[in-house]
Amino acid sequence: MNYTLKNERIEAYNQSDKYVFPKYTSQLINWANQNAQGTRPRVVGQMSELFPEFMNCAKRISIEYWKEFYLKQYPFAFEEATDKIYAQIENLREAIKLIDRDMVERWVEDLIINKTFNGLYFQKAILASLAELKGASYRLANSDEEAKGIDGFVGSIPYSVKPDTYKTMGRLSETIDVKMIYYTKTKAGLKIEVED
């Protein structure tokens, strides 16, 4: 037999409290928490370790006993997390006052034009940064060179710029002498690997 057990039913079976928040407030609190990092393990503990510990030593398994166990371990966690998150809510409250329609339109344009372009088009930035490191000039490939698998040149050396996942797909089918540059997108930018 296959079936789905929805979150609402789990909550009901476990007899947990059901909090109802006004529209949008839970999303805003969650967003503030992401920025404030109020419920990170250093503030509230590592739940993946705490809960199994509770399960191993609990006199009785219930939500009341879990709360009692937790608060013995982290008696000030609710207050610390709340302070961090509420401070961020105050920041959001002030920031929201600054947002008008023109700002939203600029944000949309920045997302669609600038961030998309910069997020998807790395070749020029990679070639320019490599040229700067080597003290050389660079240029992007023309259409004939692109047809041969060349994305650009640093000095006189031709390069093909590919995401690191390209390594698992095999080399270019062309038989030209081209150096490879691989990049990996990270949260902070790009990790770049240049073939010698």
Asked if residue 161 lies in contact with residue 183, where contact means CB atoms within 8 angstroms, the answer is yes
Q: What is the pLDDT of residues 7-44, one digit of tens each?
A: 888 888 888 888 888 999 999 999 999 999 999 999 99
Q: Which of the listed residues 98, 113, 131 is the one where a domain comes to its end?
A: 98
Q: Does residue 15 lie within any of the structural domains?
A: no
- For the chain, the domain total comes to 2
Tell me: the pLDDT tens digits for 179-188?
Answer: 999 888 888 8
Question: pLDDT tens across 90-108, in order?
Answer: 999 999 999 999 999 999 9
Tell me the three state secondary structure of residue 150: coil
Is 1 a member of any domain? Answer: no
The answer to whether residue 108 sits within a structural domain is: no
Q: Domain for residue 114, yes or no?
A: no
Burial class (CB in 10 A: 0-12, 13-18, 19+), 114: exposed
How would residue 165 be classed by pLDDT, with cut points 50, 70 and 90? confident
Residue-number span of the structural domain to which 64 is assigned: 21-98
Q: Which of 34, 64, 98 is the last residue of a domain?
A: 98
Q: Confirm whether 107 is domain-assigned.
A: no
Question: How many other C-beta atoms lie within 10 A of the C-beta of residue 111?
Answer: 11
Grouping H, G, I as helix, E, B as strand and the rest as coil, residue 126 is helix
